[in-house]
Amino acid sequence: MSSFFHTVLYIPIYNLLIFLVDILPGGDIGLAVVIATVIVKVIIMPLSLAALRTQRAMKAMEPDMKALKEKYKENQELLAKETFALYKVYGVNPFAGILTLFIQLPIILTLFWVFHSKTLLTVDTSLLYSFVHAPATISPYFLGIFLVTSSSIVLAILAAATQFVQAWYTIPMPAKADKPSMSADMGRAMALQMRYILPLFMGFIAYSSTALALYFITTNVVGIAQEFYIRRVHPKAKVS
């Protein structure tokens, strides 16, 4: 399995990174990390947008879902039947989000893996395709300022800040239920952690490497842009 992912994901992304370094002025590897991240995100964007559409449709159907649960609380079999009928009305595939996540996750982890490498400034020619050339020079600085193989508190803070904005913008905060329940409390606790704890964790990880910080910042900005697009196309069920 590891050999499969190495061949299908790691090597193509590694070649993309080296190709970009080769054609960019000055061999700016930090800029190559940003562009490579954007390219990969654009390639998997249809999956990301499908997951966001599903999320917003699920948000829009919450009032109807709540009414169904109240109406059929004594008949779980009928509740399940009516729930799937409601999914059909809203055009929701409840398994689409999970499938999309499973497809995207290996790609995202591979990006992380490639950019986390401590040998970014060297080129493993044995991994290069025949049409990809080893760069004559590789600049260790992003825009001539940030050393890619070192850490940057500025970029780490920016990674945490963009993650906070993305989480606040994209993750809905469940409304307080009239009747307290364990599921509702867990939902609110999870949303709070994603909004406040995750950005701090992201900043901590980003501080370990400028390359990772650039990857996180780019990923967050693309995520915000995707959510903005979905809100323009599907303005209903805004995140609270």
pLDDT at 238 over 50: no
Helix (H, G, I), strand (E, B) or coil at 146: strand
- The tens digit of pLDDT for each residue in 18-31 reads 999 999 988 899 99
pLDDT attached to residue 181: 54
Token pair 């890619």: residue: 148
Q: For residue 139, give the nearest of 131, 147, 130, 128 by alpha carbon.
A: 147
Segment among 123-132, 190-199, 215-224 with least mean pLDDT: 190-199
**Amino acid letter for position 57:** A
Domain positions in the chain: 2-233
Name the pLDDT band for 237 (thresholds 50, 70, 90).
very low
- Rounded CA separation 120/149 (Å): 7
Whole-angstrom CA distances from 198 to 58, 153, 161, 171 are 23, 17, 11, 12
Q: Please state, rounded to an integer, the average pLDDT across all residues of the chain.
A: 79
Does the structure show a pLDDT above 90 at 51? no
Q: Is the pTM of this model over 0.85?
A: no
Of the pLDDT bands very low, low, confident and very high (cuts 50, 70, 90), residue 182 is: low
AA identity, residue 230: I
